Amino acid sequence: MSKQLDLQLKDIDKKTDRLVEIDSLMPLSAPYDKEGMEPDFVKVKDAWKEKYCTSLDGIIGVDTLVRPSTPEEDKFVHKFINGLAKLFADSNKNFLQPLTLTMEYCVKCNTCSEACHIYKSTNQNELYRPIFRSEVLRKIYKKYFTRGGKLLGKFVGADIDINWETIARLGELAYRCNLCRRCAQTCPLGLDNGMLTREIRKIFSQELGIAPTFLHSKGSVRQLETGSSTGITKAALLDNLEFMEEDIEEKTGRKIKIPIDKKSADILLTHNTGEFMAWPENPAAFAILFEEAGLNWTLSSSMMGYDNVNYGIWYDDNMAQKIALQQFQAAKELGVRRIVIGECGHAHKAAAISADRMTYGENKVPVESCLPILWELVRTKRLTFNPAKNNFPVTLHDPCNVVRQMGIVQPQRNIIKTICPGFREMTPHGVDNYCCGGGSGFAIMQSLNFADFRNKVSTRVKFDQILRAFGDDVGNRDIVKYVCAPCSNCKGAIRDMLAYYQATDKFNIHYGGLVELMVNALSTIDKPYLTFTDELMP
């Protein structure tokens, strides 16, 4: 095993039980700066070593990447090389130019490393430099697809031996990155190691048929079969909405009939269906706000029309396109003027950016974020508020796909500054903010010991940001503290993070979306919408 600072690129093919041990982590701020405040890593089982690739860092992210029989190893290698060739073919037109530029022009300045929250969390472990996996891929490409590499091999840097273990390690390493693209934002040449990492995932899925279960078979495949990545069917959705209407009446005293399959509405509002299961108060809050503002809106109950999830954008172009086309078709059938994406970060990117490159002509439907629309309702006073009802510390998490990748920075801040007198920013924030640690599928990947990596490593910088944002109040159990995360996947990561560190039980730190805060502060509703605010009411 190499020490984390001594690891070399050529070590990726090294015969060893484990390339690195995650034995040094960034210290957390108070009150988590004391020993015993966080659990240890789960010990790797011998059975896992025999079946999976644990030789990278002991973490298993790709639970479908299992060791083949010896005769199958050569076939595995051949398929990987074939998939690598396809990345540089014209058929990969949406990614070919930025991929080629990233492969050819990196000057190894390591600016990207300083921007990476995972590199920072692991106290600068060489394995997690954004350019480490990129350099490994460059060496493989050079060895198999350049004349110099074929003829001169190690003399020109094509010095990695390819076998199942090497490729499996690279596959696992592609799932040690949240694809937050903070590295791309900071690169002086505009190169994109996050995009390159996604292309590695694509080889594994599209060529080798290998992707994490929770993204593929229990994600994209389930969505195409049932209409939802969570498995919620139309009947279950309608039942959920009925319960939601009853809950709204109980909480607010209002009878609201949620519009479903309304033809020619202005807005088709779409949610991550995880909200209906884990956080129904979020879509309910949207219904309350849209009805109060008098918007012409609807939900869809048609197959693929009610779940805005598209996990394919993280690992497989084919799956992403299938889902995007069917989601647009559901909107077309209703004749709506536009699709508005609720509080789901990756759905923003999937529908507004990725799908825009996968669909053409009449297949497209205009896509907008909910955030500017909500701010317009606040700005024009179509909604009125009593900020005193949100008189507790609030900080804002910036979802990468909404803020960094789409530039939607101010609307959510303007809203919170209007309705939350105790608002304080994280440092850094806006486009420079750090990923929640759940991006690119991490929030839903629960196989074997991967949750350890998410909770201890990928969410670590975000957890520290939260602690620092609340300052002197963080350790006071008597003060309610709220992390506003207007993204379903981010909420999932923050939920698990707070539970892992027992931050809610010990220090009264809560989390939720933006619209819940808005409804809680509505001047037209007397009862608190957020249950933990009961004690704050006069």
Per residue of the chain (538 residues), give pLDDT as tens.
Answer: 555 667 999 999 999 999 999 999 999 999 999 989 999 999 999 999 999 999 999 999 999 999 998 788 999 999 999 999 999 999 999 999 999 999 999 999 999 999 999 999 999 999 999 999 999 999 999 999 988 878 777 777 778 889 999 999 999 999 999 999 999 999 999 999 999 999 999 999 999 999 999 999 999 999 999 999 999 999 999 999 999 999 999 999 999 999 999 999 999 999 999 999 999 999 999 999 999 999 999 999 998 999 999 999 999 999 999 999 999 999 999 999 999 999 999 999 999 999 888 888 888 899 999 999 999 999 999 999 999 999 999 999 999 999 999 999 999 999 999 999 999 999 999 999 999 999 999 999 999 999 999 999 999 999 999 999 999 999 999 999 999 999 999 999 999 999 999 999 999 999 999 999 999 999 999 999 998 865 554 4
Q: Count CA within 13 A, CB hemisphere, residue 490.
A: 29
Are 512 and 422 found together in one domain? yes
Q: Please list, in sequence order, all residues whose beta carbon lies within 8 angstroms of the beta carbon of residue 242, skipping any fewer than 6 positions away.
A: none
Residue 397 lies in a domain: yes
End residue of a domain, out of 375, 410, 435: 375
Are 84 and 194 found together in one domain? yes
Are 475 and 524 found together in one domain? yes
According to DSSP, the residues that pair with 340 across neighbouring strands are 269, 368
Tell me how far apart the alpha carbons of residues 186 and 222 are, in angstroms, rounded to a whole number.
Answer: 37
Residue 273 lies in a domain: yes
Backbone angles phi, psi at 338, to 5 degrees: -155, 155
Would you state the pLDDT for residue 537? 47
Cα distances (Å, whole numbers) of residue 316 to 105, 210, 229: 25, 10, 15
Q: What is the mean pLDDT of the chain?
A: 94
Tell me how far apart the alpha carbons of residues 341 and 15 are, in angstroms, rounded to a whole number.
Answer: 48
Tell me how far apart the alpha carbons of residues 318 and 361 are, in angstroms, rounded to a whole number.
Answer: 19
Are 233 and 360 found together in one domain? yes
**206, 200 in Cβ contact below 8 A?**
no
For the domain that residue 299 is a member of, what is the CATH number? 3.40.50
Are 18 and 38 found together in one domain? yes
pTM of the prediction? 0.96
Counting every residue, how long is the chain?
A: 538
Are 18 and 81 found together in one domain? yes
Are 368 and 236 found together in one domain? yes
Amino acid residing at 111: T
Are 98 and 151 found together in one domain? yes
Copy the structure tokens of residue 331: 């909107």
Residue 394 lies in a domain: yes
End residue of a domain, out of 375, 395, 417: 375
SS3 content of the chain, % helix, strand, coil (to 5): 55, 5, 40
| Phi-psi domain of 71 (left: phi exceeds 0; alpha: psi -120 through 50; beta: other) | alpha
Residue 1 lies in a domain: no
| Phi-psi domain of 452 (left: phi exceeds 0; alpha: psi -120 through 50; beta: other) | alpha
Residue 389 lies in a domain: yes
- Listed residue (450, 435, 473, 207) closest to 316, CA to CA: 207
**25, 138 in Cβ contact below 8 A?**
no
The answer to whether the bond into 393 is cis (omega within 30° of 0) is no
Tell me how far apart the alpha carbons of residues 52 and 55 are, in angstroms, rounded to a whole number.
Answer: 9
Q: Please list, in sequence order, all residues whose beta carbon lies within 8 angstroms of the beta carbon of residue 236, skipping any fewer than 6 positions away.
A: none
Tell me how far apart the alpha carbons of residues 509 and 503 are, in angstroms, rounded to a whole number.
Answer: 6
Are 196 and 228 found together in one domain? no
What residue numbers bound the domain in which 396 lies? 383-536
Q: pLDDT tens for residues 119-177?
A: 999 999 999 999 999 999 999 999 999 888 787 777 777 788 899 999 999 999 999 99
Kindly write down the DSSP assignment for every residue of 237-279, as one continuous string: HHHHHHHHHHHHHHHHS------BS-TT-SEEEEB-THHHHH-
Terminal Cα distance for the chain, rounded: 61
Kindly write down the DSSP assignment for every residue of 381-396, as one continuous string: TSS-B-GGGG-S-EEE
End residue of a domain, out of 151, 179, 207: 207
- Listed residue (249, 253, 299, 255) closest to 276, CA to CA: 299
User: Domain total for the chain?
Assistant: 3
Are 71 and 160 found together in one domain? yes
Residue 2 lies in a domain: no
The two most distant CA atoms of the chain are separated, in Å, by 79
Copy the structure tokens of residue 313: 């954008």
**381, 522 in Cβ contact below 8 A?**
no
Q: Please list, in sequence order, all residues whose beta carbon lies within 8 angstroms of the beta carbon of residue 167, skipping any fewer than 6 positions away.
A: 76, 77, 80
Query: What is the DSSP secondary structure assignment for residue 60, as one 8-state letter?
Result: -
**299, 337 in Cβ contact below 8 A?**
no
Are 347 and 408 found together in one domain? no
Are 328 and 418 found together in one domain? no
Residue 86 lies in a domain: yes
- β-pair type (509-512, 367-369): unpaired
Tell me how far apart the alpha carbons of residues 334 and 303 are, in angstroms, rounded to a whole number.
Answer: 12
Residue 331 lies in a domain: yes
Q: pLDDT tens for residues 362-411?
A: 888 999 999 999 999 999 999 999 999 999 999 999 999 999 999 999 99
